[in-house]
Amino acid sequence: MAAETQIEQTVLGNIRDQREMLRNAFEARDEFLTPFLEAFQAGPVSRVVFLGSGTSYNVSTLAAALFNRIVKVEGVAPYPTEFTHHGAGLNPAHTDPSSVVVVGISQSGTSISTCEALEHAKRQGYRTLALTGDTESRISTIADTVMPLLVGLELTGPETKGYTASIFSVYLWAFATASALGAIDAGEADEAIAAAGDLAEQFDTVLQEAEEWYDRNRPGLLHSSRLNILGYGIDYATMLEGVLKVAEMLRVPTIGNLVEEHVHGPTMALKFDHATLVVGSDETEFERMVAIRDAIGEYAPGVHIITCREFDGADERDLVFSVKVNPYLAPLLYAVPFHFLAAKGGADVYIDTNVNPVPIRFGHYQD
C-alpha cells in the first residue's frame, strides 16, 4: 500500500496511472456530461467562452477549437484576466447575455484568475459552468453549474493526469453536445464517443510507446541548448501544453510556435544543437509540415515528429503511435511524450519536479 501511495505522489506515477483514470472517467461520464448538456440546452447559445490558466488554459484552447468545429457554435478561449479586465472573448453589448455560456476550468478550483473571471461573467448575466476536481472548492461556490473532473488523486504541482482528464472531458462534451443539437448525426457522435472508450482501454500502449520514444532520444533531447515545440490546427493546444510542461519540469530554454510561423523569423536563431518537436496533426497542413521538418533537419538534425499518421521518411527520432484515432481525439496521445520528456527528463538531470524552486503563491487562493 505504501508503494501505491508513493506512485500517486510523483509526476511519473501520475503519467503512468492514466489508463485506469480514463477508464473510470469514461464509465462515469454521465457525471460531467449530463449537467453540461442540461445547462447548454437551457436556452439559445451564441458563444461559449472557455476560461482557465496554466494547464487549464491549454485545455480551454482545445475546447474552443472543438466547439467551433464539431458543435458549430463559436468557441473562444481568452486568458481569464483579459476576459475580466479588457472584454476579451465577449459578445457585442446588444447580444442577450443569457445566450453566452462561460465555462471555468480549474482542477484545484482555486485559480484566482479563473474564479474572478467567472464572478465577472455571472455579474454580466452569462450562464456560468465550472469543471473542477474539487466540487467543494471556491469555483464551485461561484458557478451556476458544477461538473466533476474525474481525475482522481494528483498531489504534484505539474498537472499531467489533470490535463488528460480535462481534454477527455471537453472532447466528450463536444460530441455529446453536437449530437443533442443536431450539428452532427447521432451515429457519428456515438462512434466518436465509443472511440474515447476504446482509447482508454489502449492507453497503456500509448504510455509505453511515448516512454520508449523518450528513452531512445534521451541523449539528444537532454543535450539540446534549446527546444522548439511546434504545432498547428487542432493541436495548437498540444504545443502550448508541451511548452508549459517542459518549462515547469525540465527547465531548459523552450519556445513554441505554429509550424508555418516558425519559418517566418524564429529559424534565423536555429543552431545545430537545437531539438525541434513537431506535433503532426492529421490535417491539411501535414505534408507541408513534413517538408518544413526536412528543411529544418538540414541545419539542426534533432527534429522529431509526433503523430498517429504513417508517413514516408519516419525514423527513430519520430513517434508514430500504433494506436490510431480521429484527429479530435489524438491530442490525448500527443501530450504524453511531452509529459515524459518533462518529468523523466527532469529526473534524469536530477531535478526534483515535485519541488517548486520559486514558490511564488500568486496564482491560487490559499484558504
Helix axes 186-201, 18-27, angle to 10 degrees: 150
Q: Which residues are within 8 A (CB) of 55 and not within 5 positions of it... i.e. 6 or more apart?
A: 107, 159, 162, 163, 166, 241, 244
Q: Which residues contact 35 (CB under 8 A, 6 or more apart)?
A: 129, 145, 146, 147
The string over 311-330, giving b where at least 16 C-beta atoms fall within 10 Å of a residue's C-beta and e elsewhere, is beeeeebbbbbebbbeebbb
* 234 touches 69 (CB < 8 A): yes
Fold equal for 2-201 and 203-348: yes
Regarding pTM above 0.85, the answer is yes
Q: What is the pLDDT of residue 57?
A: 97
Q: Look at domain 2-201 and name its CATH class.
A: alpha beta
Q: In what order do the strands lie in the sheet with 75-76?
A: 75-76, 47-51, 100-105, 127-132, 145-148
Domain edges within the chain:
2-201, 203-348
Residue 64 and residue 75 in contact, taking contact as beta carbons nearer than 8 Å: yes
Q: How far apart are CA 322 and CA 307, in angstroms?
A: 10
Q: What share of the chain is helix, strand, coil (3-state, %, to 5)?
A: 50, 15, 35
Tally of helices (H runs) and strands (E runs) in the chain: 15, 10
**Tens-binned pLDDT, residue by residue, of the chain (367 aa):** 334 344 447 899 999 999 999 999 999 999 999 999 999 999 999 999 999 999 999 999 999 999 999 999 999 999 999 999 999 988 666 678 999 999 999 999 999 999 999 999 999 999 999 999 999 999 999 999 999 999 988 877 788 999 999 999 999 999 999 999 999 999 999 999 999 999 999 999 999 999 999 999 999 999 999 999 999 999 999 999 999 999 999 999 999 999 999 999 999 999 999 999 999 999 999 999 999 999 999 999 999 999 999 999 999 999 999 999 999 999 999 999 999 999 999 999 998 887 777 766 666 767 6
267, with CB counted inside 10 A (0-12, 13-18, 19+), is middle
DSSP class of residue 19 equals H
- pLDDT of 360 reads 63
Which residue reads 504510455 in cell numbers? Answer: 207
Nearest-angstrom CA–CA distance, 132 and 138: 10
Whether 134 contacts 108, CB under 8 Å: yes
What single-letter DSSP state applies at residue 6? H
Look at the domain 203-348 and name its fold: Rossmann fold (3.40.50)
Alpha carbon distance 49, 82 (integer Å): 12
- Rounded distance, CA 259 to CA 288, Å? 9
Lay out the sheet containing 274-279: strands in order across: 254-258, 226-231, 274-279, 302-307, 319-320
Report the alpha-carbon distance of residue 133 to residue 153 in Å, rounded: 9
Beta bridge partner(s), residue 274: 226
Separation of alpha carbons 115 and 132, rounded Å: 11
Give which of 143, 203, 127, 212 is closest to 167, Cα–Cα. 203
d(CA 84, CA 104): 12
The Cα 140–Cα 146 span in angstroms is 6
